[in-house]
Chain A
Amino acid sequence: MSRALLWTLAALGVLLLALVAIAYGAVPLSLGDVARAIAGQGDAGTVTIVRALRLPRVALALLVGAGLGMAGAALQGSLRNALAEPYLLGVSGGAAVGAVIAVALGVSGTGALPLAAFAGAAGAIAAALLVARAAGGRADARALLMAGVVIGAFANAAIMAALADAPPNTVRGALWWMMGSVADSDWPRVAWLALYVLVAGTALLWMARDIDVLALGEEPAAGLGVRVEAAGRRIYLVSSLLAAATVAAAGLIGFVGLVVPHLVRGAGVRRHRPLLLGAALVGAGLVVAADLVARTVRAPAELPLGAVTALIGVPFFLAQLRRFA
């Protein structure tokens, strides 16, 4: 199969998946209804369901998946580690601390929790960079990885300590958020995340060739004219902030950043520019599919999205493991 055909099929697949996800729900719609409603035609109730409820939900899922896929691809390449992903590097832990603090303080309102989560994630990213720099002399890949992992572990411990004697409602709220969901989506949230994904995604695509070279290692990359430390730090910062934005918008949705880049590499994509684009596409598709599963299998109850991404992603990953190992 030619490369162009594969890309086209993948893009069409994600589009179809998105349309199915919009069509499916408590009020089942046909794909024709969906298309008409998006264009603003047809029954007013259907238009409202599609435009105000389902479209923002699916759009958020697409953006979260795209953001996590790209962040994972950029971090794995620049840190030269097949296990690197934003959540491993303290982003999720920091975001969770921020969110739990907000929940524990009784902060409500749709805007506050994402903001607190983003602040927490940004704090963890900054801490990882500072610690790695102080420890390594330079912020090299290994020091960054270790600092990120340990800060994440610290954050998780802090959350458990904070939740140990919290009232059940707080625990439930925090837990639900930590399991990830795109159910509360609305257009402002979609717009914010779209902005992040667009800006950070463009920046990563701009730096894609640097990521290619960084993946060779510190000394070869330096010999080819990359400012290893500065470029590594820039890529870490941009991809972590991108992941933090997805966490703020939809809570913790694990596994996408880890597994999606490997799936795209498994399809023969090596260079980071197509890899980033492919990871965005596949990540978007995976999260939309997972959300569809999350709200169907036990409808009207919903499964936690963060669990379903892993439940779907793991078999895919294992089936392809031979290619990576």
Chain B
Amino acid sequence: MIAFRDAVIRYPRAAVNAIDGVSFVAADGALTAVAGPNGSGKSTLVRALLRLEPLRAGSASVDEQPLAALDPRELARRVAIVPQRESLVFALPVREYVAFGRYPHEGPWRAAGPDDAAAIERAIALAGIAPLAGRSTHELSGGEWQRVRIARALAQGGRTLVFDEPTTFLDVAHEMAMFELFARLASDGMAVLLVSHQLNLVARFAGQIVLLHHGRVAASGSPAQVMRGDVLERVYDWPLMITRDPAVGAPALIPLRRPPTHP
């Protein structure tokens, strides 16, 4: 479980707060989505969870314990984070890359044990990358690489997962499979925090959406509460309409064309 309370984050030498008083809880057993326009502070929240940016005010906690007080490895055993971007300079066999998820469980000289091997195999199976396990990371497509990274996060063995734009490079089928996986992990009792631009999919899968705008929470709650035309139009500054997804009845966003402006 992750909880932010009145969190404030400002980058060094920045004039304004990147995150300006944000509060929400990503509960166990739920899929919580953070959405919002580019630059609204979504990835800053992820960097705060990585403890790469300190909170200027407010608090962030994991399983009721203050983030700052947790040992980094203890934190990594509880929360697995898949950042938005990651590229390897030196190629690795996929299985060895997934094995990095066990790092927080290792000591400097402790060799990997049967627990680690089992966790790695479980993660590979859960992410559906068994056919890729023998390949090199430099031979993967964008979508395959995303799934391999998710397997690495699952291998960490924590109860809380954070994914920053995990489906950006995926085609429709792989994207749906990924959302199904997130939903399954949440129904297994995990806290899944998903940063995503895919509002329509988020509206179908997430229990709670936190909509960020200029570092503040513009709306928060169930998809029906957040997916409102007036709110989204203001936040995204673009004409749009909200309809019902004909297949499942979830709210769906349709962006409209902006009429050309003549000087």
Contact = CB atoms under 8 A, between A and B. Distances in A.
A223 B47 contact: no
B72 A265 contact: no
A217 B86 contact: yes
A225 interface: yes
Nearest to A324: B90
A271 B153 CA distance: 19
Interface in A125-161: 137
A224 B76 contact: yes
A211 to B, nearest CB: 11
Nearest to A261: B90
Contacts of B86: 216-217, 219-220
B162 to A, nearest CB: 8
Interface core residue of B77, B86, B103, B153 (most chain A CB under 10 Å): B103
A222 B51 contact: yes
Contacts of B156: 224
B89 A223 contact: no
Nearest to A140: B52
Given A137-B12, A219-B52, A223-B50, A81 B89 contact: yes
Contacts of A218: 52
B88 interface: yes
Interface in B37-87: 46-47, 50-52, 71-77, 79-83, 85-87
Interface in B6-60: 12-13, 46-47, 50-52
B117 interface: no
B93 interface: yes
B47 A225 contact: no
Contacts of B90: 77, 82, 215, 265, 270
B96 A270 contact: yes
Interface in A192-224: 206-207, 209, 212-213, 215-220, 222-224
A22 B217 CA distance: 73
A216 B76 contact: no
Contacts, number: 76
Interface core residue of A227, A228, A270 (most chain B CB under 10 Å): A270
Contact of A215 (B88, B108, B153): B88
B52 A226 contact: no
B87 A219 contact: no
A105 B142 CA distance: 59
B92 interface: yes
Interface core residue of B72, B89, B90, B100 (most chain A CB under 10 Å): B90
B230 interface: no
Contacts of B104: 224-225
A80 interface: yes
Interface core residue of B75, B101, B108, B156 (most chain A CB under 10 Å): B108
B129 to A, nearest CB: 17
Contacts of A222: 50-52, 72
A188 B169 CA distance: 59
A222 B82 CA distance: 11
A270 B88 CA distance: 12
B106 interface: yes
A131 to B, nearest CB: 16
Contacts of B81: 219, 223
A222 B153 CA distance: 13
B50 A219 contact: yes
Contacts of A212: 100, 103
Contacts of B153: 223
Given A137-B12, A215-B90, A216-B88, A223 B96 contact: no
A209 B106 contact: yes
Contacts of B87: 217
A279 to B, nearest CB: 13
Contact of A225 (B52, B72, B83, B96): B72
Interface string A222-260: 111111100000000000000000000000000000000
6 contacts: A82-B89, A137-B12, A219-B50, A225-B75, A228-B52, A270-B96
Given A219-B83, A222-B51, A223-B153, 6 more contacts: A137-B12, A206-B108, A219-B52, A219-B85, A219-B86, A222-B50
Closest 4 CB pairs of A and B: A225-B76, A225-B73, A219-B83, A223-B81
